[in-house]
Amino acid sequence: MSDIIQSWAHKGRELYASVHSENDLRKLDELIVAEQCGYYFEQRGEKIVQLELFREEIDKATKEYNEWYGKLKLKTNKQIDDIVRDDRSDDTSRYFVINETVCCIDADHGGQVYVPRRCILADPDFYDINDWDEVTKDYLLNASGYSTEGLETPESPELLEIVIAEIEDLSEQFTERMMVKNLWCMCYVNVDEEYIDFVEDKDLIKWARIKPEDIHPISSWHDG
């Protein structure tokens, strides 16, 4: 195939994006689109467009995109924590589906959502307690980059004092046992994987399976 099309010819999701994005290609004749996507070879100074091959690759690209989109729809918010923490990557690692639209994690803006433990236990059909961490001193220390063992020989005693003071201040704002989970802002993206707009909080919270009325006021996921 390499000798009858250009080496840079678009394929897979890149090809799908090329023919479905909001660009000038959508307004052009199919032969021109095929040429613009690299499906031609040159013979005696003339470009010979491989239209049938282009159509076959479009069918393959559409199938690949639909399978990719299907994977996204099966993913849950729980996976975000695993992806960010373990830095695992595949062709769906940064993408999710909200309101039937592909979204991308905004890794620059995120934070923690705090919910009373009693709320999670009261509705096990809605909440999965395994998706949450309990807010303890050890958890807050680890979130700050420290550990209980690190208290014995801290590298920076002055900084550690500040961290402990902040943890105690945070703890005082809770009047009951709390649970916490990470949450990142999300952005809608087009088929070119370019940002379109932020996902509204009400849609983000609904997708993350968190009841708005359960969220503690100290929660914030817009930090960056």
Domain ranges, ordered by start, for the chain? 12-74, 78-135+174-223
- For CA atoms 40, 42, 47, 52, give the dihedral sign: negative
**Tokens of residue 80, six digits:** 């975000």
**Cα angle value 20/26/31 (rounded, 5°):** 110
Summarised one tens digit per residue, pLDDT across range 141-197 is 777 666 656 555 556 666 667 667 777 777 778 889 999 998 989 999 887 777 888
Summarised one tens digit per residue, pLDDT across range 9-62 is 999 988 988 887 766 666 788 998 999 899 999 988 899 999 999 999 999 999
DSSP-based three-state secondary structure for 64: helix
Q: What is the value of pTM for the model shown?
A: 0.67
